[in-house]
Amino acid sequence: MLLSLLPSFDQTNQSRQHGLHTMGWSDLPGDLISGIADRITEHADLARFRSVCPSWRSASEAHAARRRVPLLLLPTQGYSRVNRRLWSLADDSVAEIPVPAARGRSFLFASPRGWTLGVANDLAATLLHPFTGALESLPALPPSFHDDNQRILRDTVWDRSPDAVVVSSGKGAFFCRLLPGDGRSWSPVAGCSQAADRVSSITYCDDGTFYLLDKRAGKVTAVDGATFAVVAAIEPPDLTMPNSWLVPESTLVASSAELLLIVRTQLVDRGYFDSKRVLKVYRADAQSLAAGWSEVAGDMGDRAVFVDHLRGFCVEANGVNGVRRNCVYVASSHEMVNDDYGLDVWGRYTVSVLDLADLTTQDLSLGNLLDCMCGRFWQWPSWCMPNLTDPN
């Protein structure tokens, strides 16, 4: 459709020979470009559309702003399938996108940078980008990532920098360099013991630091992204639980300027009513980690935090993308048994949004998301941002 609006190559040459003005890609009217952008439904198509030239990118900015909403990657029921499912927070739609590199990868772990870690039952690992088709080969994960029930694989956490990947099975951490000539292999992170250090979340920050979090203890370990040595440790903030059955769980959000630690409670015994729920937000200066945490007064401003079992990250609540400001969106899953013998086990996915202003919670696990299930060994869903302009 777009090509029909432009002059052909022969027409352009003839016009130049006669000294006539020719129409180029950047000469199309802005309202026409905007109207076409509004009709594009696929993220990859929109990214290609906006990369044509600066004028197209500018004219389609409003449409792109409406699309800056995380998508939830849902584990598939058929690991040999090419298509994988994405749930949209914006309209409760479930779309299937072709990801040929994911075939045979039983476990997929998404990230806000667009990259996804795919792992097979034999620990073969691949970095893949569902929206661009880009691939990065990885060596098989260390044997410590496996157990008889695949429970370790399900709880694997990871993140990447432009130059390396860091992964953990829950104890200690391993890194693999991605630069050419480095000879890709997994090496333990120095100073992060597999025997003692619990790792339940890994977050890479653009300042070159990987942050490893123990969610239950609230302890954060900073790892240099070049040397892969521990450079700092932040002890958890002082927090007293009002009742013994309330268990704190932390989520870390990292940026080059600050770290946010969101501490919330969940019930060990869900038969009790959570009448004394605790939720605190703490801040640490990324340039002065030794100063520790200070509690955040007021709210987080015009942003929301999206949380899954891997990590937390911030998204701008820009007024047009439907994201609620000062809220936490939590994606999880739970096991369901459909028979009397415990043999027919399924996983269902849940998304809830917690308003930090009044601590009210809204369940978003309705409609199409409610109909999605995962068979065999239930897995965690994970948030991804359809980032197509910066594959790293």
Fill in the DSSP letter of residue 21.
-
Q: How many CA atoms lie within 13 A of 378 on its CB side?
A: 16
**Residue with tokens 């203890």, as numbered in its chain:** 217
**pLDDT over 70 at 105, yes or no:** yes
The side-by-side arrangement of strands in the sheet containing 246-254 is 246-254, 258-267, 279-285, 294-295
Residue 86 CB coordination number (10 Å): 21
67 neighbors 385 (Cβ within 8 angstroms): no
Beta bridge partners of 67: none
Confidence (pLDDT) at 175: 95
Joined tokens for residue 85: 């499912």
Query: Distance between CA 265 and CA 279 in Å, rounded?
Result: 7
Query: Which residue did the predictor score with more confidence, 98 or 6?
Result: 98
pLDDT digits (tens, 9 = 90+) for 237-253: 887 777 767 777 888 99
Query: Distance between CA 207 and CA 19 in Å, rounded?
Result: 52
- φ and ψ at residue 361, rounded to 5 degrees: -120, 135
Confidence (pLDDT) at 1: 41
**pLDDT over 70 at 273, yes or no:** no
Query: Distance between CA 38 and CA 306 in Å, rounded?
Result: 26
| pLDDT-derived band at 125, boundaries 50, 70, 90 | very high
The whole-model pTM stands at 0.81
Confidence (pLDDT) at 15: 46
**Residue with tokens 């609006």, as numbered in its chain:** 5
H or E segment and range at residue 35: helix 30-38
